[in-house]
């Protein structure tokens, strides 16, 4: 009797049987996926740049940078009509998936959501990654299939607890006799599951909202694998409207050679002090780009499109580096060369020169 109440007294045989369950074997992977998705979600919500359309690190900035390379580019273009909604759906979707898998509630459904999100990231952020296994999203897609097939495996899961409770509610002799008992249990399981899902969603939603408020109050999170929040002085933005570009293209500097004054004017050099950088759009390609006032190299410009998988890089003035929010690529801000991470090539250089305090793209 004593050993029935305390099964560990049964010794190694009981232990072996207990840990033989699939649920225990897949528990480390389940915890890893759940914690990763919760972390990724809270990091997005705490990052003030995430929903700030003017930031290249925002969800809009990333979608714009990826729409030309992704096979689901038309879908990204469509999403750009409601970027805040899409950004919130991604962040809260990740949170729902992570929490669902962590507590083992509607685990299969949560795993389907996780697989769809990972597939979306693979088709966008990781699409240009070569070889394909350098990007983690494809690995996540296949990891989720384990839980689509097995759920939580009956281990440490609300699903299992709810099923047990639904079975414990006594059913009348009439329903037992008419053979609808299992149907009643299934219905009860669904109702109890929906109630639990509502409560968990409420708690997770409140935690997400609180993270967003606290994140903005303390200045946001720094970058890791998702959108960055590079600290430092506000980065000015040079403006190059097509009309001003057209009018300055033919304007020659008095006494200078036409080759010095050719090109498209994109803004005033005095707006970018030494050690700082400013964003502009490359007039030739329309791609986002950075103008850097390098203490060593003077004014230099680079495409902001990361050579690894096409994410938009951010400028970090304290280290004089460009940093990629997607997989941690790092580039020297003075030369564009790769300093670390998976990017296979330097950032594309854009030739610029300064005439009469005016920056011109050649």
Q: How far is the CB of 310 from ligand FES (least distance, A)?
A: 6
Q: How many residues bind ligand FES (CB under 6 A)?
A: 11
Which of 48, 329 has the CB closer to ligand FES? 329
For residues 143 and 28, is the Cβ–Cβ distance under 8 A? no
Cα 305 from Cα 349, distance rounded (Å): 11
Which of 163, 327 has the CB closer to ligand FES? 327
Q: Is 228 in the site for ligand FES (CB under 6 A)?
A: no
Q: How far is the CB of 323 from ligand FES (least distance, A)?
A: 9
Q: Which stretch binds ligand FES (CB under 6 A): 169-177, 228-236, 278-286, 322-330?
A: 322-330
Of 73, 236, 341, 346, the one binding ligand FES by CB under 6 A: 341
Q: Is 59 in the site for ligand FES (CB under 6 A)?
A: no
Which of 293, 327 has the CB closer to ligand FES? 327
Which of 82, 345 has the CB closer to ligand FES? 345
Cα 44 from Cα 51, distance rounded (Å): 9
Q: Is 352 in the site for ligand FES (CB under 6 A)?
A: no
Q: How far is the CB of 342 from ligand FES (least distance, A)?
A: 5
Q: Which stretch binds ligand FES (CB under 6 A): 234-242, 255-263, 320-328, 332-340?
A: 320-328
Q: Which stretch binds ligand FES (CB under 6 A): 41-49, 109-117, 241-249, 336-344?
A: 336-344
Q: Is 342 in the site for ligand FES (CB under 6 A)?
A: yes
- How far, in whole angstroms, is CA 119 from its chain's centroid? 12
Q: Is 163 in the site for ligand FES (CB under 6 A)?
A: no
Give all strands (DSSP E) within 211-297, no chain letters: 264-268, 277-281, 288-294
Residue 113 belongs to what H/E stretch?
helix 107-123
Cα 108 from Cα 90, distance rounded (Å): 19
Q: Is 188 in the site for ligand FES (CB under 6 A)?
A: no
Q: Is 309 in the site for ligand FES (CB under 6 A)?
A: yes
Place of tokens 């004017």: 265
Which of 66, 162 has the CB closer to ligand FES? 66
The answer to whether the bond into 131 is cis (omega within 30° of 0) is yes
Pairing of strands 349-350, 264-268: unpaired
Which of 130, 239 has the CB closer to ligand FES? 130
Q: Which stretch binds ligand FES (CB under 6 A): 34-42, 110-118, 260-268, 319-327?
A: 319-327
Cα 191 from Cα 198, distance rounded (Å): 11
| Tokens describing residue 288 | 């986002």
Q: Is 311 in the site for ligand FES (CB under 6 A)?
A: yes
Q: How far is the CB of 309 from ligand FES (least distance, A)?
A: 3
| Tokens describing residue 354 | 């300064």
Of 44, 188, 279, 308, the one binding ligand FES by CB under 6 A: 308
Pairing of strands 298-303, 349-350: antiparallel
DSSP string over 10-65 = G-HHHHHHHTTSHHHHTHHHHHHHHHHHHHHHHHHHH-TTTT-TTSTTSHHHHHHH
Q: How far is the CB of 284 from ligand FES (least distance, A)?
A: 22
DSSP 232: S
Q: How far is the CB of 67 from ligand FES (least distance, A)?
A: 15
Nearest to 35 by CA among 108, 106, 103: 103
Question: What ranges in 255-330 are assigned the alpha helix state H?
Answer: 258-261
Q: How far is the CB of 128 from ligand FES (least distance, A)?
A: 7
Cα 360 from Cα 362, distance rounded (Å): 6
Q: Which residues bind ligand FES (CB under 6 A)?
A: 306, 308-309, 311, 324, 326-327, 329, 341-343
């Amino acid at each position: 009797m004593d050993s029935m109440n305390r099964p560990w007294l049964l010794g190694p045989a009981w232990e072996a049987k207990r840990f033989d369950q699939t649920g225990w074997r897949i528990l480390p992977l389940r915890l890893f996926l759940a914690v990763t998705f919760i972390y990724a979600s809270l990091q997005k919500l705490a990052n003030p740049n995430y929903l700030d359309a003017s930031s290249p690190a925002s969800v809009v900035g990333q979608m714009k940078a990826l729409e030309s390379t992704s096979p689901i580019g038309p879908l990204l273009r469509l999403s750009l009509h409601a970027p805040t909604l899409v950004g919130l759906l991604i962040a809260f979707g990740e949170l729902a998936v992570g929490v669902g898998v962590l507590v083992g509630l509607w685990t299969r459904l949560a795993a389907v959501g996780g697989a769809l999100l990972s597939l979306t990231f693979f088709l966008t952020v990781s699409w240009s990654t070569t070889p394909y296994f350098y990007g983690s999203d494809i690995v996540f897609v296949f990891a989720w299939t384990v839980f689509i097939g097995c759920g939580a495996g009956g281990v440490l899961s609300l699903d299992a607890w709810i099923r047990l409770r639904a079975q414990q509610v006594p059913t009348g002799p009439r329903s037992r006799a008419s053979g609808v008992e299992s149907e009643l249990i299934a219905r009860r399981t669904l109702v109890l599951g929906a109630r639990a899902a509502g409560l968990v969603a409420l708690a997770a939603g409140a935690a997400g909202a609180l993270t967003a408020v606290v994140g903005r109050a303390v200045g946001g999170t720094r970058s890791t694998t998702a959108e960055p929040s590079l600290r430092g002085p506000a980065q000015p933005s040079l403006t190059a409207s097509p009309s001003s570009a057209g009018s300055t293209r033919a304007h020659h500097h008095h006494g200078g050679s036409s080759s010095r004054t050719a090109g498209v004017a994109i803004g005033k050099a005095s707006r970018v002090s030494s050690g700082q950088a400013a964003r502009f759009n490359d007039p030739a390609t329309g791609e986002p780009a950075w103008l850097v006032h390098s203490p060593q190299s003077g004014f230099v410009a680079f495409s902001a499109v990361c050579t690894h998988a096409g994410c938009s890089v951010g400028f970090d003035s304290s280290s004089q580096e460009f940093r990629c929010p997607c997989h941690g690529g790092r580039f020297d801000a003075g030369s564009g060369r790769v300093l670390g991470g998976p990017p296979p090539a330097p950032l594309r250089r854009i030739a610029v020169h300064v005439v009469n305090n005016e920056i011109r793209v050649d």
